Amino acid sequence: MDKVVVIVGPTSTGKSDIAIKLAEELNGEIVNADSMQVYRGMDIGTAKPTREDFEKVPHHLFDICDLTERFSAGEYAKRASKTIKEILSRGKLPVVVGGTGLYTQALIFGFFEEDNVDKSAEKSLKKTISIMGTEYLYSFLEKIDPDFAQRINPSDTQRILRGLTFYFSTGRPLSSMWEKTKPLLDNVEFIVIGLKADREKLYEAINLRVDRMITAGLLNEVKTLYSQYSDRELHPFKAIGYRELISYIEGEITLTKAINDIKKNTRRFAKRQMTWFKNKPIKWFEVDPLNKKIPFDEIKDYIKIELAKNKE
C-alpha–C-alpha distance, residues 13 and 286, integer Å? 9
DSSP state for residue 236 in the 8-state scheme: G
- Spatial neighbors of 86 by CB under 8 A, at least 6 apart, are none
Task: Decide if 196 contacts 287 (C-beta within 8 A).
Answer: yes
Q: Round to whole Å and give the CA distance between 263 and 241.
A: 9
Tell whether residue 13 is among the known ligand binding residues.
yes
Burial class for 114, CB neighbours closer than 10 Å (0-12, 13-18, 19+): middle
User: Sign of torsion, CA 114 183 180 76?
Assistant: negative
The sheet carrying 59-60 orders its strands as: 59-60, 28-32, 93-97, 2-8, 188-197, 283-287
- The answer to whether 194 and 9 are in contact (CB under 8 A) is yes
16 is in an annotated binding site: yes
Could you please report the per-residue DSSP string of 20-62?
Answer: HHHHHHTTEEEEE--SSTTBTT--TTTTPPPHHHHHHS-EESS
DSSP state, 92?
-
Known binding residue 295? Answer is no
Consult the annotation and say whether 171 binds a ligand.
no
Nearest residue to 300 via CA among 94, 98, 26: 26
Q: Is 11 within any annotated ligand binding site? A: yes
Can you tell me the distance from the alpha carbon of 123 to that of 80, in angstroms, rounded to the nearest whole number?
A: 31
CA end-to-end distance (rounded Å), the chain: 7
Known binding-site residues for ATP equal 9-16
Known binding-site residues for substrate equal 11-16
Known binding-site residues equal 9-16
